[in-house]
Structure 1
Amino acid sequence: MSFYVTTPIYYVNAAPHLGHAYTAIAADVLARHMRQRGEDVFFLTGTDEHGEPVALAAEARGMTPQALVDENAPRFRDLMPKLNVSNDFFVRTSDSEHKLRVQEILTTVKERGHVHLGVYEGWYCPRCADFKTESEIGPGNTCPIHKIDLIRESEQNWFFKLSDFQQQLEELFDGNPDFVRPKHRFNEARAFLAQGLQDVSLSRGKLTWGVEVPWDPEHVFYVWFDALLNYVTALSYARPGEDLTDEFWPAQVQLIGKDILKFHTIYWPALLMAAGLELPEHVVVHGFLLMRDADGSEHKMSKSLGNVLDPFQIIEDFGADALRFYCLREVRFGQDGAVSTAGFAARYESELANELGNLASRTTAMVERYRDGAVPDVAPDPAIAAEVDPLVGQVCEQIDASELTVALDTAWQAVRRLNRYVEEQAPWALAKDEAQAGQLDVVLATLTDGLRVIGLLLHPWLPATVDTLFAALGVDDLSLDGATMRAGAVTHVTKIAPLFPKPE
């Protein structure tokens, strides 16, 4: 089976921040978990390099748009390995292959009768690159996201006949209540649809930075249509000499932030219908990571608002796995939530260092001390296995439902249960009584194999940590087929250094 997961592509008008890292980490958790289940996974991310926001940012710096995107796109690409993100391809919308495929698909849309020439007049946000409907306008004709004045625009554009798809989209939503996740985001999209759809600009005549409209070279395609199509276009050239479209399209999960809900849940399926392409199975919408201002108010983390945390600095101080863990532990995926440097430090010490790190250190140290590193070849405690083994199926179900934080919480139950087991059994006391040697064998086997199962559960969130842990346990199989506690899965361990040392 194949599994295709995408992130939105990121604007390159400034450097990446924690909000970008958040989406990439979430997609990577899905990709890694599905690989553990034996799926043929393709994971796409990349950069959105056309449109007015990029052109304005380049103009402000006195450089060409191409020079700006060539400077900034590598920052996003280089962020991925720093985050331990295992994407299979990094698409850039300035790629010549992407541009040609966009022109092909949108020409098909025109030939199928879904394009017309017209005049647009209305309110426009240059940072969103979005023409706002009346219900999307903030107080005083401002953008509710970027807090800037909207611009009154009037221009002749090619239009996409979005209104043609009113009924088909209603049937999609009413017949597939799981198309958009979570449910409250589905309801938002359905409410937008209920307002009635109007045709939208497919091209811009006032811009030059974009993909040229092949039937009207005086126009470039409106950036959103160019950008949305990356999910399909990338498959045609991501692997040299191959076209992966038939193998991986449609996507199973497309991750987005809630600020681009309209484009991905209304425009995107309509565009695919117009082009005769299949729809993704799920559009999964996450909330905003919020930063608290000095007055206590909370705002979306946004480069244009200047209230960002630098993920590179966080990685340097705490490590990539700690960042991955914190982002999906602190804020329930799908909801908004506040983050802070203090919050990172607290989670790092209390859960990563004291709970998981301490469990790994104590277990391997005790096996080495009491059994010279040899794991007793006895069955783990059946009571503990009865509690830990069912967590694997629960995590799979929760991942399938895009409940990434709930799944992490479930996996963490095994960490806490084994820590309690250490205290309940007190192996250091058992070691002092030769009559308890058999029970000590059971305890050590239980803790060791429990750690292996914990590693399998936590690998999607903590891949580098699990690599270190599994090296100490002498195992390398990440398949979830083997994620049940049993005798003999681990035969020998070496004492492990602290997995989460306190930063200097």
Structure 2
Amino acid sequence: MPDAPFYLTTAIDYANGEPHLGHAFEKIGADTIARYQRQAGRAVHFLIGMDEHGQKVAQTAADRGVTPQALVDQVAESFLAMWARLGISYDQFIRTTTATHQAGVRALIARIFERSPDDFYEKAYEGWYCVGCEAFKSEGEIVDGKCPLHPTRELQWTRETNWFFRLSRYQQFLETLLRERPDFCQPESRRNEILGLLAQGLEDVSASRSRFAWGVPFPRPTGDGETQTTYVWFDALPNYLTATGFPEAGYEARWPAQLHVIGKDITRFHCVIWPAMLQAAGLPLPERVWAHGFVNLGGERFSKSAGVKLELGEAIDRFGADAFRYFLLREVPFDGDGNFSWERFEERYTADLANALGNLASRTVAMVEKYCAGVVPATFDAAILAADAADLAAYHAAMDGSRGYLLHQGLEAIWQIVFRANAFVQERQPWTLAKDPAQRAALEAVLGTLVRQLVTVSVALAPFMPAKAEELWATLGAPAAGHEAAARVAFATLPSIDPTGWSVTKGAGLFPRPEPKPATA
């Protein structure tokens, strides 16, 4: 639906450390979805941001001898710098420490008090609390006395009297939601996990905390007059709503969101607590939650506390931001887990980018310059382009949300076109055709086909590798109107963009081959 709104969000990042591989994977994936939807003509609003409240932030600030606000200001700047480096095309960056967000959180809670007055109640509670998750853990969620997601942290036994949210009331509502709207929680493996959680029965959850003040004040004091702090998840989840301007007039123009992109470890917050809160407030639910998996490093899940980490800057420096974006989304399924290794990164870069695509572009442009005076011929091989069209259809099916957001499959489909183009070169050998004047028409058809294939690849790759796709687009002599604008116009009709008469320009090479490693004794 061209011009239809597409409000896309990611999980806001917790402000107690530097951006890491998991953060980058999520933002790159969501950015690719946003760019694809823009090409399709959707009115995209892409939200990212920082989750800046909670006990963990307060503890980290105390450990560093700074105020919590000073800490989150510094961390936010490091995240913003990283997203700029990776080309994340967000439209809005929200921080939960802003006055507008805090007002929106309090308004949402007040609205629940007004519309569902029995949903909040006071309760004395005790249990194991994981500061890493900012969540209480049931016995079934504890393994060997530890939280499985934060095994280096000690669980804290906590006794408090808090405001609780009557989540158990929404058991049937959530079961009906997942049954009648199976696309609400995707992929299917994550939906099945939530259904399994619901089958165990829901317990009410704490909505406020009493032992620290770094957060949004809860709108109502407890019965003994104590002002408490809003529990961090009741502060963080509403960011998607407060970013629209809620509760001010006009927020409905953007809400509800079309897509929340999150990690699989927080699916239950987004597919259980968040829809229950919205239902209690009488507000529309988001259309879809997509929960991606983890990027493992050397077979282990990334964990700063466990010492499993990767310096993002080093990874980007290795072959550039676009190559890093490509590797993550080609190697790691966006519906499951995957691995990062330096060896595999170099293999993918050399085989896919330097040899397959980079060499194809370089020699195609060189041959058009040599044999056609740099001007793209009008003729082409219709059978080859028809085969490309089938792969392009597979690309769209993986990218447009109709079957989910299978970005890795989108890249696989593009590379089928790249591989076909390279095979076509080897089969037809245009350098041989050029030696025989009688084969002039055949030569021009080969080169015209190759340029058209590269045009298709350039447009389809733009969501994944925006800078390199733009560079390829310019090398092919495309109109100066701009890659994104031209691609948007032609998006639905690829591979029928007609590059006849374009003047190619040989550049420095899209993906230089890695320097050979020095021999070891």
1:229 aligns with 2:238: yes
CA displacement at 1:244 relative to structure 2: 6.2
Identity of matched residues, %: 46
Question: What is the alpha-carbon distance in structure 1 between the residues aligned to residue 458 and residue 142 of structure 2?
Answer: 48
- 8 Å contact kept, 1:2–1:247: no
Structure 2 counterpart of 1:137, which letter? I
CA displacement at 1:460 relative to structure 2: 0.8
CA displacement at 1:481 relative to structure 2: 2.5
Please name the residue that 1:4 is paired with: 7
- 8 Å contact kept, 1:472–1:493: yes
Please name the residue that 2:228 is paired with: 219
Structure 1 counterpart of 2:494, which letter? A
Query: Compared with structure 1, are the counterparts of its residues 490 and 263 closer, same or farther at alpha carbon in structure 2 (3 Å cutoff)?
Result: farther
- 8 Å contact kept, 1:377–1:491: no
CA displacement at 1:436 relative to structure 2: 0.5
Counterpart secondary structure, 2:367: helix
- 8 Å contact kept, 2:376–2:451: yes
Query: Compared with structure 1, are the counterparts of its residues 353 and 244 closer, same or farther at alpha carbon in structure 2 (3 Å cutoff)?
Result: farther
Q: What CA RMSD, in Å, does the superposition of the two structures yield over aligned residues?
A: 1.5
Please name the residue that 1:344 is paired with: 345
1:270 aligns with 2:288: no
- 8 Å contact kept, 1:381–1:446: yes
Please name the residue that 1:188 is paired with: 193
Q: Match for 1:210 among 199, 207, 215?
A: 215
- 8 Å contact kept, 2:377–2:500: no
Counterpart secondary structure, 1:478: helix
CA displacement at 1:53 relative to structure 2: 1.0
Please name the residue that 1:397 is paired with: 397
Structure 1 counterpart of 2:311, which letter? D
Deviations along 1:1-23, one digit per CA (max 9) or x if unpaired, are: 01111110001101111110000
What TM-score results when the alignment is normalised by the length of structure 2?
0.92
Question: What is the alpha-carbon distance in structure 2 between the residues aligned to residue 17 and residue 211 of structure 1?
Answer: 27
CA displacement at 1:503 relative to structure 2: 5.1
Question: What is the alpha-carbon distance in structure 2 between the residues aligned to residue 488 and residue 291 of structure 1?
Answer: 43
What TM-score results when the alignment is normalised by the length of structure 1?
0.95
Mean Cα deviation higher: 438-447 or 396-405? 396-405
Please name the residue that 1:285 is paired with: 291
Please name the residue that 1:117 is paired with: 122
Question: What is the alpha-carbon distance in structure 2 between the residues aligned to residue 393 and residue 182 of structure 1?
Answer: 21
Q: Match for 2:183 among 173, 178, 186?
A: 178
Counterpart secondary structure, 2:94: strand
Structure 1 counterpart of 2:159, which letter? S
Please name the residue that 2:68 is paired with: 65
Please name the residue that 2:172 is paired with: 167
Q: Match for 2:146 among 130, 134, 142?
A: 142
Structure 2 counterpart of 1:392, which letter? L
* Superposition map of 1:14-93 within 5 A: 14-93=17-96
Question: What is the alpha-carbon distance in structure 2 between the residues aligned to residue 341 and residue 230 of structure 1?
Answer: 36
Structure 1 counterpart of 2:131, which letter? P
- 8 Å contact kept, 1:449–1:489: no
CA displacement at 1:376 relative to structure 2: 1.0
Q: Match for 2:107 among 90, 104, 109?
A: 104
Question: What is the alpha-carbon distance in structure 2 between the residues aligned to residue 284 and residue 30 of structure 1?
Answer: 11
1:254 aligns with 2:260: yes
* Superposition map of 1:415-434 within 5 A: 415-434=418-437
Question: What is the alpha-carbon distance in structure 2 between the residues aligned to residue 467 and residue 342 of structure 1?
Answer: 28
1:443 aligns with 2:476: no
Structure 1 counterpart of 2:168, which letter? S
Structure 2 counterpart of 1:120, which letter? Y
CA displacement at 1:489 relative to structure 2: 5.3
CA displacement at 1:306 relative to structure 2: 2.4
CA displacement at 1:156 relative to structure 2: 0.8
- 8 Å contact kept, 1:389–1:485: no
Counterpart secondary structure, 1:178: helix
Counterpart secondary structure, 2:496: coil
CA displacement at 1:138 relative to structure 2: 1.2
Counterpart secondary structure, 2:124: strand
Counterpart secondary structure, 1:149: coil
Please name the residue that 1:407 is paired with: 410
1:500 aligns with 2:511: yes
What residue ranges of structure 1 are gaps of 5+ in the alignment? 293-297
Deviations along 1:382-425, one digit per CA (max 9) or x if unpaired, are: 11111112323322221112111111111111111111111111
Deviations along 1:233-257, one digit per CA (max 9) or x if unpaired, are: 11218xxxx9763232212221111
- 8 Å contact kept, 1:448–1:490: no
Deviations along 1:29-59, one digit per CA (max 9) or x if unpaired, are: 1000011111000111111000011011111
CA displacement at 1:134 relative to structure 2: 2.2
